Amino acid sequence: MQSLSLSNGQSIPQVGFGTAAIGSMHQNDSHVKDTVLKAIELGYRHIDTASFYGNEQTVGQAIAESGVARKDFFITTKVWDTQQGYQPTLAAMERSLELLGLDYVDLYLVHWPYPEKTHATWKALEKLHEEKCARSLGLSNFTKRDIQQLFEVAEIKPVYNQLELHPYMTQKPLIEYCESKGMVVSCWSPLGSGSWSDVKFEDKPMADPVITKLAEKYGVSAGQVIIKWDVQQGRVVIPKSESEKNMRANLELDHFSLTEQELNAIDELNRDERFGDDPVDAYQANLDRPVPQV
């Protein structure tokens, strides 16, 4: 599996396995464990979860039962808005590690920008890095302004920013800014097809004629075309699937390449269309959405 190097020298598998809303959001049962186990069996080693997903416990059980050595995994989790601030973030990490059954995570992210708490939260992340609870530190959903605010106090710079990024929301200026600051860009909902959104499938990039024609040309799925578009441009991709067929396909990308013209054609599908929340004010609603009790 292809990997990228983070700016601190750590290696990250370029295609990860997303665990948000396996079954449904906050589901934490044998179905989640079995789905993650199947992903690991198929070759996924980068597993992305979060305290808010409510499934760290069963994700951790899958990791433990997989028979794969801990050193061969790259595990990401995230601190939620209701957990932000200095002491709450330290407590959040302690709880995440307890649920995951791990001594450390490979990457710890601030799930959403919460400007009033950014400085204190990041200082807590730096302490967790110093204590080797988190090998790398990063961001999720941070805008340029949020990153600039963080850089005013950050002694350890973030190595990663995970964004809603798909052919209808390409975020090219933000990608360029992140990369100029040494951050790898990662894509959540890379196919623009999250079951959590109310958008009809035919209105999503997976159904776009540009994508489907390329899929037909190369004899691959629409999802494979979109993931390849990201991978060829040096981004980490975090697709989620509960179908073994799709899990397998999302890793099978080496037998075709998109031309520069085709990459540009997908770029040009951009509509600045979010299917998820707007990072500018998402924290306001998130404060009424607590981390589920496990």
Express each pLDDT in 259-273 by its tens digit.
999 999 999 999 999
- Domains of the chain (ranges; CATH) run 10-272 (3.20.20.100)
Q: CA-CA distance, 123 to 153, in Å (whole number)?
A: 8
Find tokens 């040494």 and name the residue: 182
State residue 200's pLDDT score. 87
196, pLDDT greater than 60: no
Q: Report pLDDT digits (tens) over 208-262.
A: 999 999 999 999 999 999 999 999 999 999 999 999 999 999 999 999 999 999 9
Q: 163 in helix, strand or coil?
A: strand
Query: For the chain, where are the E strands, in sequence order?
Result: 3-5, 11-13, 17-18, 46-48, 74-79, 105-110, 134-140, 160-164, 184-188, 236-238
Q: Can you tell me the mean pLDDT for 18-35?
A: 96
> Which residues are tagged catalytic?
53
What is the phi-psi region of residue 168: left when phi exceeds 0, alpha when psi lies from -120 to 50, beta otherwise?
alpha
**Token representation of residue 276:** 């998820």
DSSP 71: G
Q: Can you tell me the mean pLDDT for 271-286?
A: 95
Q: Which residues contact 93 (CB under 8 A, 6 or more apart)?
A: 79, 108, 124, 128, 133, 134
Mean pLDDT of the chain: 96
10 neighbors 135 (Cβ within 8 angstroms) = yes
Q: C-alpha 278: how far from its chain's center?
A: 16
194, pLDDT greater than 80: no
State residue 251's pLDDT score. 97
Under the banding of pLDDT at 50, 70 and 90, the label for residue 67 is: very high
Q: Can you tell me the mean pLDDT for 152-167?
A: 97
195, pLDDT greater than 80: no
114 neighbors 86 (Cβ within 8 angstroms) = no
